[in-house]
Structure 1
Amino acid sequence: MVGTAETTAAPAAAPPGLRERKKRRTRDTLVRAALELFTERGYERTTVDDIAAAADVSQRTFFRYFASKEEAAFFVGRLAESRFVEAVRGRPPEEAPLDALRRALAESWDGIAEAVERVVPLDLHLRFYQVIESTPALLAAHLRRSAELEERIARVVAEREGLDVDTDPRPRVVVAVFGAVVRVTERIWSVGGDASLAALREATAAHLDQVEPALTGDWRTD
């Protein structure tokens, strides 16, 4: 058995070469410079030339990596989104859809944080979310991206449940409810006094606990 395992095990992935490492460093430097400038002086007042200068590269180099400053702004967010989608895809098939979404999020926080930290400091990423809430252009882009992410997740949920997402509305409905809770949580957290990841995690869990009572309960207290 040991010999079989040794002969059939997949080879370890080769580490990235020097050129690839340099490209990653340049990309990450551009992302960090962009987020620092966006949080310090504002998104609208920051130009691509500003970002390139802060990263000590040319404007031409910036456009080798990003089509626009919006793309640079949401690069780290895309990493987090991909982690979450894969976490949903990997949940046990017997879990109900909303449970799968909740547990995927709860169990992917640490992995998301680690992925973010490989590119920029986590606190910078979190501070940028506060900038999103106060910047109309960024907020519009964030909402558009959220809608696109919900569609991706709805298709994963439909596949898990053996449903046709285009004829059965339930995958989109459950993902829309989940996404709305996350969106409300982000908004409340962004203007609160505690901008830590721990506060965001706690608030998200608390608000998700209210989904069923909010949808089916009687809100009147008199």
Structure 2
Amino acid sequence: MSETRAHPQSEGPTMAAQLTPTAPDPACRVLGLRERKKQRTRDSLVEAAHRLFLERGFGRTTVDEIAAAVDVSQRTFFRYFANKDEVALAVMAEAENFFIACLRGRPAEESPLQALRASIVQAWRELAAGRPDGPSGVTTALELMQLIEDTPTLLAAHLRRITEQERVVAGLIAAREGLDPVTDLRPKVMAAVFGGVLRSAHLAWSAEAESESATGAGDSGPEGMIALIERHFDQLGPALAGDWRR
């Protein structure tokens, strides 16, 4: 049975970033410390969950074991996450949100496909480099891809999130191009094609990583993933408009 409990909405961005050197009220600094402590607890729960999932498997790990690994109560766990699915996908969700932020910041003169391709490569590179204002754990995200593919409940949750991400991407593309996504299908088609290319690249990376773990050869890290994404995008044009029989 799934271990699930309702929990409050996210408590928003850290107040620490809102402090200024001239802030006279010490209560503001106390609030900043409290928010940072909450973020540390959340990060610790994510790290402990991922370690246990990779060591024992998703199904054999309980919420109580994750909480105990961080020395907090089950009640504290449910303050941050609704269930095991959510904590398992936390790093992936943060990476996907970071990609959306990268897409929002791409130059307006780029075509939709150029902006999408540049955004995903930018996101992977900056996360791999440990960008201070981006989510960490890109290596963990790569490791979790195989866990997700092997766990039906996680895969279902991950695919639901991908579907929602495609909706967001279509909306952003439509806004960039000044289109109505209800009457013009191109943004939705582009978002779906982009999602398919990424999923193909992720599956190829998982297969290569599994093979390399047995042989000890190859690059299954972030640069290996970026190279696979680039190769898949290089084939998108020929696949859609090329003469396959030449």
TM range (shorter): 0.7 to 0.9
Write the letter of the residue equivalent to 1:208: F
Relative distance call for 1:44 and 1:190 in structure 2 (3 A) is: same
TM-score by length of 2: 0.79
SS at match of 1:220: coil
Matching residue's letter, 2:33: L
Cα deviation 1:63-121 (Å, max 9, x = unaligned): 01111111111111221111111111111112111111111122222333326998664
- Separation (CA, whole Å) in 2 of partners of 1:149 and 1:155: 10
| 1:191 maps onto 2:207 in alignment | yes
* AA of the residue aligned to 1:152: V
- Given that 2:100 and 2:169 are in contact with CA atoms closer than 8 Å, whether structure 1 keeps it comes out as yes
Q: Secondary structure at the match of 2:59?
A: coil
Any idea what the Cα deviations from partners look like across 1:1-41, whole Å, max 9, x if unmatched?
xxxxxxxxxxx742872211111111000000111111111
Q: Name the structure 1 match of 2:44.
A: 29
Runs of 4+ in 1 over 6 A off after TM superposition: 116-119
Q: Return the structure number with greater relative CO, CA threshold 8 A, min gap 6.
A: 1
Give the alignment of 1:1-222 within 5 angstroms: 13-14=18-19, 17-113=32-128, 114=130, 121-192=137-208, 193=212, 194-221=219-246
Q: Which amino acid in structure 2 is aligned with residue 72 of structure 1? A: V
Counting aligned pairs with the same residue, the percent is 52
Alpha-carbon distance in structure 1 between the residues aligned to 2:162 and 2:131: 19
Partner amino acid for 2:240? L
TM-score, with structure 1 as normaliser: 0.88
Structure 1 139/22 Cα, relative in aligned 2: closer, same or farther at 3 Å?
Answer: same
- What are the superposed Cα offsets for residues 194-213 of structure 1, whole Å, 9 maximum, x if unpaired? 42111000000011000010
User: How far apart are 1:144 and its partner, in Å?
Assistant: 1.0
1:214 partner amino acid: A
Residue 44 of structure 1: CA displacement? 1.4
Q: Which sections of structure 2, spanning at least 5 residues, go unmatched?
A: 1-16, 21-28, 213-218
Structure 1 residues not aligned, in runs of 5+: 1-11
Separation in 2, partners of 1:140, 1:107: 27
Name the count of aligned residue pairs. 210
Matched residues in 2 for 1:119 and 1:167: separation?
Answer: 36
